[in-house]
């Protein structure tokens, strides 16, 4: 597998010259062995001809050449150590004899000039280049964990959390490249390098090129056959969309261990690519299938932008680790929440599956539900996308909230008629409280979860953009009779997300999208298979097909009770008339955890100082509760914030909370 390949390699030249390359083996086994022997002989003799100690003629620095890291048509990549600092580089060494033709040297120079200007944490860093009489030397960032190609070779397939981890970093690096108007044009697993700390770096800019206008785009066919896009094969030109297509191929390969269009015949591979014809095995999760399908869309203009990829349900609804251990290079990771929790959930797993026979029976039952679940998921996804496109088409380009519509009584307001701040907050929430503040089940069935998020976002944004600046937290007002999350556990890599409400209800949003609540009396369970559709049964008479989930629910409850402390002093007053909350969606960033509930309650927990923001609707107004670092809570009517404002630190938390909510709704 190539680690680093020059833009001017003979292989690249052949690919750029023609859309076809023979995949047939040599006709004679003897000639094959003979040519292989010659190649091995040449490779053995090459290192002996190259000096082990290399000196930069301009700086006088000496470098010691180490082991071979990879090779391409023009160049070999070696480990290279600066003898004065002991810093280790990956050195791409190109003999002058291999770039003797002017166009070959121009390609090397173009690669150097392009790469040296790139500075991003997910791009292989370019340090220095020099040349002597024999070779050109390019010193690059050394990635000790080699590449994703090496990792996949050892692992065969990667887990979805790992794929999210790597894809986030690839998208970050690729977004930077596209912002610099640079196309990579050769995205594949062998060109994603992994550092000592398991950070991914996009490398090998041998085929990279500046983005041209649509009419002047490059139409040469170059890249790796399995990752070429239909428009490149059809010589329609390279654009950012071609890199997006390759990203889809990369995601598919990581999850399934093979490229989506791989066949035994190159002509057939190209035919499949042109037709965007590939299979999506049932082993893939519905969100993974949908994301791959959108990335591998035949029409370039229908593929998602990089900004939208990370907002896809594949990322939002699934667990994404912040770090991976080095052991992931050769074995599957063991994700867990904490060592005490691990023992609890091992017991839960045993209770859930029992023996091997029970486990097989469980998966047989699960597989029967797969097609039905996928259809429900696709329907929900399509409805949400439709709602989002309708919303976004009404927004002005600067992203601010729309002005009131013409039929509202604030279209033309004179100074004498100007509404008070209390009126303003009513206008902001007008038309939304009535539909979602009571039981919310009907609201969810009609408008899906996206409607709840959209309502909360509009209220939150309206408050932030209209309230004045203030130095002190205003005096609290409003009732504290609200439900909020006091404890939570993320164990979504196996089961789901668990939480405890302030009224002692324990809920779990399972990975399959179903939700189960254990009520405070510990005798009643509410089960939601679909939004707004509830089944109720006692804990002493659990239906057979729910036994596994109820067991896990109880272990979540037991773990949180035994190991976690409450997150603040805010106590919920029990009110049997209050609607039952259940979690619709949660989202974790590097700074905070967001939770959105069926009645519009919106909570954000900040990790570093344990502060929390809770927004909920009660009767005719919205209440915002802030729990500070000392776990002391203050509740305000949103109208009071519009009148008096709030201090900078609270405002920043509100703005960040809004950004998370908008990310969820994208």
Is the Cβ–Cβ distance between 541 and 496 less than 8 Å? no
Q: List, in sequence order, the alpha helices (H) in 116-265.
A: 148-155, 160-179, 230-233, 240-256
Is the Cβ–Cβ distance between 300 and 231 less than 8 Å? yes
As beta bridge partners, residue 92 has 77, 138
The CA-CA-CA angle for residues 569, 573, 579, to 5°, reads 120
Among the listed residues 13, 24, 132, 186, the single catalytic one is 186
Task: Report the candidate in 7, 335, 326 with the shortest Cα–Cα distance to residue 146.
Answer: 326
Kindly state the tokens that stand for 505.
Answer: 């209800």
Kindly state the tokens that stand for 349.
Answer: 């797993």
E strand intervals along 148-261: 182-183, 192-194, 200-202, 209-210
Cα(77)–Cα(89) distance, rounded to whole angstroms?
Answer: 10
Cα(225)–Cα(250) distance, rounded to whole angstroms?
Answer: 13
Task: Report the candidate in 555, 547, 559 with the shortest Cα–Cα distance to residue 352.
Answer: 547
Cα(212)–Cα(236) distance, rounded to whole angstroms?
Answer: 13
Is 186 marked active-site? yes
Is the Cβ–Cβ distance between 462 and 428 less than 8 Å? yes
Q: What is the DSSP string of 79-129?
A: EEEETTT--EEEEEEEEGGGG-SHHHHHHHHHHHHHHTT---TTBPPEEEE
- What sign does the dihedral 377-381-382-384 (CA atoms) show? positive
The dihedrals phi and psi of 40, each to the nearest 5 degrees, come to: -65, -35
Task: Report the candidate in 10, 66, 49 with the shortest Cα–Cα distance to residue 135.
Answer: 49
Is the Cβ–Cβ distance between 643 and 419 less than 8 Å? no
The dihedrals phi and psi of 444, each to the nearest 5 degrees, come to: -70, -40
Cα(603)–Cα(400) distance, rounded to whole angstroms?
Answer: 23
Kindly state the tokens that stand for 460.
Answer: 């939150």
Kindly state the tokens that stand for 473.
Answer: 């937290």
Catalytic residues: 186
């Amino acid at each position: 597998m190539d680690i680093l390949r020059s833009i001017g390699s003979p292989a690249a030249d052949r690919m750029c010259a023609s859309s076809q390359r023979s995949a047939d083996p040599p006709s004679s086994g003897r000639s094959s062995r003979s040519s292989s022997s010659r190649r091995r002989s040449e490779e053995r003799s090459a290192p002996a001809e190259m000096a082990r100690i290399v000196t930069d003629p301009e700086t006088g620095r000496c470098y010691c050449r180490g082991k071979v890291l990879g090779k391409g048509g023009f160049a070999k990549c070696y480990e290279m150590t600066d003898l004065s600092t002991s810093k280790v580089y990956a050195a791409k060494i190109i003999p002058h004899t291999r770039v003797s033709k002017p166009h070959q040297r121009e390609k090397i120079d173009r690669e150097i000039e392009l790469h040296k200007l790139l500075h991003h944490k997910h791009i292989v860093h370019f340090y220095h280049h020099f040349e002597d009489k024999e070779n050109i030397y390019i010193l690059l960032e050394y990635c000790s964990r080699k590449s994703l190609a090496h990792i996949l070779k050892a692992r065969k397939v990667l887990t979805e959390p790992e794929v999210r981890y790597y894809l986030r970093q690839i998208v970050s690096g690729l977004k930077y490249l596209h912002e610099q108007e640079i196309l990579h044009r050769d995205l594949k697993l062998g060109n994603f390098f992994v550092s000592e700390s398991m950070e991914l770096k996009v490398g090998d800019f041998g085929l990279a090129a500046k983005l041209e206008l649509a009419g002047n785009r490059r139409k040469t066919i170059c890249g790796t056959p399995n990752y070429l896009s239909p428009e490149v094969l059809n010589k329609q030109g390279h654009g950012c969309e071609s890199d997006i297509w390759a990203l889809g191929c990369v995601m598919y390969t990581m999850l399934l261990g093979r490229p989506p269009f791989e066949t035994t015949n190159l002509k057939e591979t190209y035919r499949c690519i042109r037709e965007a014809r590939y299979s999506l095995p049932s082993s893939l999760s519905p969100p993974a299938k949908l994301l791959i399908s959108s990335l591998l869309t035949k029409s370039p203009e229908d593929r998602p932008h990089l900004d939208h990829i990370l907002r896809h349900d594949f990322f939002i609804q699934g667990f994404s680790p912040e770090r991976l251990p080095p052991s992931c290079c050769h074995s599957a990771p063991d994700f867990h929440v904490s060592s005490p929790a691990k023992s609890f959930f091992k017991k839960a797993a045993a209770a859930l599956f029992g023996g091997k026979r029970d486990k097989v029976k469980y998966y047989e039952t699960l597989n029967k539900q797969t097609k039905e679940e996928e259809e429900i998921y696709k329907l929900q996804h399509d409805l949400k996308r439709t709602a989002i496109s309708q919303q976004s088409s009404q927004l002005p380009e600067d992203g601010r909230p729309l002005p009131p519509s013409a039929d509202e009584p604030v279209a033309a307001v004179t100074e004498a008629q100007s509404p008070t701040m209390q009126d303003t907050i009513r206008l902001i929430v007008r038309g939304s409280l009535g539909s979602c503040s009571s039981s919310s089940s009907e609201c969810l069935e009609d408008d899906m979860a996206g409607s709840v998020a959209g309502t909360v976002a509009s209220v939150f944004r309206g408050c932030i953009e209209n309230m004045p600046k203030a130095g002190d937290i205003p005096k609290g007002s409003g009732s504290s009779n609200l439900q909020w999350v006091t404890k939570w556990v993320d164990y979504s890599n196996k089961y789901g997300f668990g939480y405890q409400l302030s009224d002692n209800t324990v809920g779990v949003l399972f990975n399959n999208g179903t939700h189960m609540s254990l009520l405070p009396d510990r005798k009643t369970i509410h089960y939601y298979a679909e939004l707004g559709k509830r089944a109720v049964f006692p804990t002493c008479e659990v239906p057979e097909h729910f036994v596994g989930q109820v067991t896990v629910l109880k272990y979540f409850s037991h773990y949180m009770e035994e190991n976690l402390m409450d997150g603040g002093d805010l106590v919920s007053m029990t009110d049997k008339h209050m609607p039952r909350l259940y979690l619709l969606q949660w989202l974790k960033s590097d700074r905070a955890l967001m939770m959105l509930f069926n009645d519009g309650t919106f909570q954000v927990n900040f990790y570093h100082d344990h502060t929390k923001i809770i927004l909920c609707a009660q009767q005719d107004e919205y209440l915002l509760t802030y729990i500070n670092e000392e776990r002391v809570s203050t509740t305000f009517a949103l109208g009071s914030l519009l009148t008096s404002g709030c201090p900078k630190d609270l405002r920043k938390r509100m703005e960040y909370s809004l950004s998370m909510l908008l990310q969820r709704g994208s």
